[in-house]
């Protein structure tokens, strides 16, 4: 449905002539504001939280019906490498390099309106690479096994020393080696 706006400016002692706008359709001709975006690192991925632009007089459920998705542009700040994809809401961007900064800009796409403003770049670092728990577990078992083996060796060695120092053993050994042949 097309509309026209008629406006007039005035002050206390002046008044302008009425001005009539061209025909427009509020639903298709309105410039959609940028979506609200937050980005956080999660290992070798980024977690993206996207909320559609808000509107006065519309309920959240009505706003969500207008949007079919969001076009996300992801740029690696180190070298400017970039890619884009379409998301429908909160999403996780996976398979990124760890400890690298990425900037994301998001544009809302509407079912009835193609005019929208891109969000400001929102940047975040991917987190350091996670520790492989299997490697840590196997390393710990190896160290524990070595400690047990070393402890057993010490116990056997000390036991032999103590065994050789006992009076009974000394007497038996002396009688074996000092007996006439």
Could you tell me the CATH number of the domain that includes residue 70?
2.60.40.10
Residues 24 and 73 in one domain: yes
Q: Are residues 97 and 150 in the same domain?
A: no
- Whether the CB-CB separation of 23 and 4 falls below 8 Å is answered with yes
pLDDT at 131: 62
> 112: pLDDT confidence band, cut at 50, 70 and 90?
confident
Task: Report, as an integer, the average pLDDT of 30-41.
Answer: 88
Per-residue pLDDT at 61 exceeds 60:
no
Q: Say whether pLDDT at 45 is over 80.
A: yes
Could you please report the per-residue DSSP string of 101-127?
Answer: EEEEEEEEEESS---BPPPPPEEEEPP
pTM for this prediction: 0.61
- What is the C-alpha to C-alpha distance for residues 101 and 81, in angstroms, rounded to an integer? 11
Nearest Cα residue to 55 out of 105, 7, 110: 110
* Residues 62 and 111 sit within 8 Å (Cβ to Cβ): no
How confident is the model over 115-140, as a mean pLDDT? 84
Judge contact between 156 and 139, C-beta under 8 A. no
Residue 114 pLDDT: 79
Owning domain of residue 170: 133-178
Mean pLDDT of 90-115: 89
> Is the model's pLDDT at 152 over the cut of 80?
no
Sign of CA dihedral 110, 116, 117, 123: positive
Cα separation, 87 vs 168, in Å, equals 85
Verify that 61 and 83 share a domain, yes or no: yes
Same domain flag for 19 and 90: yes
Is residue 1 situated within a structural domain?
A: no
More confident residue, 47 or 164: 47
Q: In this model, does residue 149 exceed pLDDT 70? A: yes
CA geometry: angle at 144 spanning 141 and 147, to 5°?
155
Q: Tell me the pLDDT band of 120, cut-offs 50, 70 and 90.
A: very high
Indicate whether 120 and 150 sit together in one domain.
no
Quick one: pLDDT at residue 180?
66
CA separation for the pair 107, 141 (Å, rounded): 51
Amino acid 111: pLDDT: 77
């Amino acid at each position: 449905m097309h509309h026209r706006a008629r406006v007039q400016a005035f002050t206390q002692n002046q008044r302008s002539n009425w001005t009539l706008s061209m025909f427009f359709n509020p639903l298709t001709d309105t410039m959609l504001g940028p979506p609200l975006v937050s980005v956080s690192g999660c290992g070798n991925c980024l977690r993206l939280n996207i909320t559609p632009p808000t509107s006065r007089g519309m309920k959240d459920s009505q706003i969500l019906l207008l949007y079919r998705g969001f076009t996300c542009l992801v740029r690696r700040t180190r070298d400017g490498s970039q890619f884009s994809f379409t998301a429908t809401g909160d999403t996780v961007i996976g398979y990124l390099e760890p400890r690298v900064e990425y900037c994301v800009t998001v544009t809302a796409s509407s079912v009835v309106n193609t005019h929208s403003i891109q969000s400001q770049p929102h940047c975040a670092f991917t987190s350091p690479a996670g520790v492989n728990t299997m490697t840590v577990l196997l390393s710990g078992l190896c160290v524990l096994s070595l400690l047990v083996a070393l402890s057993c060796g010490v116990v056997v060695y000390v036991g032999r020393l103590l065994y050789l120092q006992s009076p009974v053993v000394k007497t038996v050994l002396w009688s074996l080696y000092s007996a006439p042949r």
